[in-house]
Structure 1
């Protein structure tokens, strides 16, 4: 049986193939290379001044090209990107055979977080220049990302007070047991339990003080910026809420914002950002029922932006005894500032 045979690994070539010849003309790495070279990295905020002592530093453009390549190919790990520099021919071409170590890659990402965000908005501007963003119809929505903080390490005033009440109750029981005990060994064990619970009580008192000082309704101990949010229906998680806005012409995302709040108070801020980015307010914005909040409609009206938001259904607790008399069946007259009920009666 015949098989397709490979080339002999020890075979030498009279005219060796260069890296340039190995990358086809339509490869996306060529776009990354051209895009980064067109940016003014100093204006975007990338550090460009380095001390002359010691080994020379990598040009920020080199590390930015690697970061964008990793983003486009779902390679987030700095160690994995380091491996790609030595074995991936596309990365070798893109970085001109440079191979920064994982610490250099990680520090670049950490030290230039704000500048990297500005690079995203630079891509939006390029898309606009090529007519890929129509700025006539946009849509906004959110995604919840679970934080590195368990529900156990998230506290609000009610939860802290519940723990304090439980500990106070246990301390009271231990003190009564201590009074009634005659055995020295038993008293010693009870005193250890009292010290343990007293230590826990001190920790909750510190958390209570931190919560009051922050002015926030809740506090997370492992991931301080995260909050306890409703993810879907009645399911909750300690998470982040990432708001994003997409243009309808070619489904290109042109804005995003990482928050720790639910959707109900997000629409106004995202519309303000969209108006700034698109430099117009003549577009129409679409949102789902989670964004249906009066104060956000007021913001949209002040911005002069046409906004369509799905009307949420009436909850079971808000239903009228007779569904015919639910609020959607009452007609409002703007001229007279009155409502007309299903029976035709006028309500002021």
Structure 2
């Protein structure tokens, strides 16, 4: 029987071929190499000036190439990347057979969070150059990524109080036992227990003081800025909340931000940043009901953006849904409501105030009608003893405009989930990036998330455009970039002049990456 036989272990791999010959022309590692080389790393915030004395440093391009390659191939650990440098032919080709150690790789990632965010923006600009960003319809949402902090090491006031109560109970038992004659060994055990419980009590009291001083409602001891959040239904995790805006044309993220709070106050900032990225305010933004906040909707509308935010179910439904508040017509001239039965609800003019959260209080008017007393359908409209009550606050017109937008474009809103969940599903379910690898703060978590989204965007662009076009683009960009950068340094040209020079070439190059 015939079998295939391998080469001798003493024979060079590839029959003595060079690394260049072993890497095929269409290997995506060539695109990674060209893409990183095309970036003005110093302008993006990477450190490129190192003192001459001492051991030579790794150029940031080398470490950035390694990280981008790793995230594209589902390798995030710095120790795993260190091993790849010695055994992976693609990495050897990419880095010129350099092999940074794991500390160098990890330190580069955690010290360059802002620069990595700018690399992500460079991928967005690259997509825009190839007309992959429509800028007409965007969807915003968030996803929770678990932090390197267990639930056990996350505390709130209630949890601390339970621990302190348990410790006091154990201390009381030990002290009561010490008040009675005990054998020598038993007495030593009790004294050790008292000392141990006293140390634990001081530890929890210190956590309580930390909560009181910071004004926060939680404290995490492993990753201080992570917070326990609801992941789904009643399931919670200590996590970070990643906000993202995704363009509808090819499901490409155009913006992201790592936070440690919920979605309610996030939409305004997301829309504002998206406006500057897509360079217009005529786009439509889609959000789920977690973003339903009057102040944020008002911000979006003032920016001129059409925001469609899902409307939560009413807090108090009428016995018959036909008599819910949305079916009462408001008259802005007379400041009255008209119910489905034709009765007029008016206000007494008094301004009421309620505090729903820690933010500024909400002021509102109340609208009633005496007709409720004798109304034949009162049982269908309300069960309140004093009849139907409607509250109208500062943001009610904003909510009404949002409701009208959704009613006009119901088919548009249905696309939200398909747009924004595409990158989240790929990154978390397919690639397995369901947690943040780094510790000690949101800035370091942002570097990790930024590299995830850089890899996602590059993968999408690579699959849509093709490797030959991308490689030609990056090669042309690299030559034009260095030529014009040197020219601008020599003549101090303005950005407009540089952009004009680039636009005159065969390939349109976006010099906005300079900024």
Shorter-chain-normalised TM-score: which range? 0.7 to 0.9
The 8 Å contact of residues 330 and 341 in structure 1, kept in 2 or not, is answered as: yes
Match of residue 342, structure 2, among 330, 341, 344: 344
The 8 Å contact of residues 230 and 262 in structure 1, kept in 2 or not, is answered as: no
CA distance in 1, matches of 2:190, 2:54: 62
Give the corresponding residue for 2:33.
33
Q: CA RMSD in A?
A: 2.8
Q: Aligned pair 1:152/2:164, yes or no? A: no
Shift of 1:72: 1.1
Between stretches 327-336 and 205-214, larger displacement belongs to 327-336
Shift of 1:159: 3.0
Number of matched residues?
A: 344
Give the corresponding residue for 1:222.
222
SS of structure 1 residue aligned to 2:264? helix
CA distance in 2, matches of 1:89, 1:175: 67
Give the corresponding residue for 1:55.
55
Q: Deviations over 1:88-144 (max 9, x none)?
A: 222222222222232322222233232222111111112112211111111111111
Give the corresponding residue for 1:203.
203
Q: Aligned pair 1:330/2:328, yes or no? A: yes
SS of structure 1 residue aligned to 2:149? coil
Give the corresponding residue for 2:136.
136
CA distance in 2, matches of 1:258, 1:101: 28
Shift of 1:261: 0.6
Mapping for residues 78-97 of structure 1, pairs under 5 Å: 78-97=78-97
CA distance in 2, matches of 1:141, 1:255: 11
Give the corresponding residue for 1:269.
269
Using a 3 Å threshold, how does the CA distance of structure 1 residues 77 and 166 change in structure 2: closer, same or farther? Answer: closer
CA distance in 1, matches of 2:245, 2:12: 54
SS of structure 2 residue aligned to 1:139? strand
Mapping for residues 245-256 of structure 1, pairs under 5 Å: 245-256=245-256
Between stretches 90-99 and 243-252, larger displacement belongs to 90-99
Q: Deviations over 1:36-57 (max 9, x none)?
A: 1111111112111223233322
Q: Aligned pair 1:113/2:113, yes or no? A: yes
Q: Deviations over 1:277-316 (max 9, x none)?
A: 223222110111211122211221222211011112346x
Shift of 1:58: 1.9
SS of structure 2 residue aligned to 1:263? coil
Using a 3 Å threshold, how does the CA distance of structure 1 residues 79 and 12 change in structure 2: closer, same or farther? Answer: closer
Shift of 1:32: 1.3
CA distance in 2, matches of 1:33, 1:109: 18
Q: Deviations over 1:195-235 (max 9, x none)?
A: 44333322222111111111212211121101121111122
Using a 3 Å threshold, how does the CA distance of structure 1 residues 201 and 104 change in structure 2: closer, same or farther? Answer: closer
Using a 3 Å threshold, how does the CA distance of structure 1 residues 273 and 9 change in structure 2: closer, same or farther? Answer: same
CA distance in 1, matches of 2:126, 2:313: 41
Q: Aligned pair 1:19/2:8, yes or no? A: no
Q: TM-score, with normalisation over the residues of structure 1?
A: 0.87
CA distance in 2, matches of 1:120, 1:299: 26
Q: Aligned pair 1:283/2:312, yes or no? A: no
CA distance in 1, matches of 2:2, 2:171: 83
Shift of 1:73: 1.0
Q: Aligned pair 1:303/2:340, yes or no? A: no
Using a 3 Å threshold, how does the CA distance of structure 1 residues 284 and 335 change in structure 2: closer, same or farther? Answer: farther
CA distance in 1, matches of 2:181, 2:3: 89
Between stretches 159-168 and 52-61, larger displacement belongs to 159-168
Using a 3 Å threshold, how does the CA distance of structure 1 residues 197 and 20 change in structure 2: closer, same or farther? Answer: closer
Using a 3 Å threshold, how does the CA distance of structure 1 residues 84 and 177 change in structure 2: closer, same or farther? Answer: closer
Give the corresponding residue for 2:126.
126
Q: TM-score, with normalisation over the residues of structure 2?
A: 0.61
The 8 Å contact of residues 246 and 253 in structure 1, kept in 2 or not, is answered as: yes
Could you tell me which runs of 5 or more consecutive residues in structure 1 were left unpaired when the two chains were aligned: none
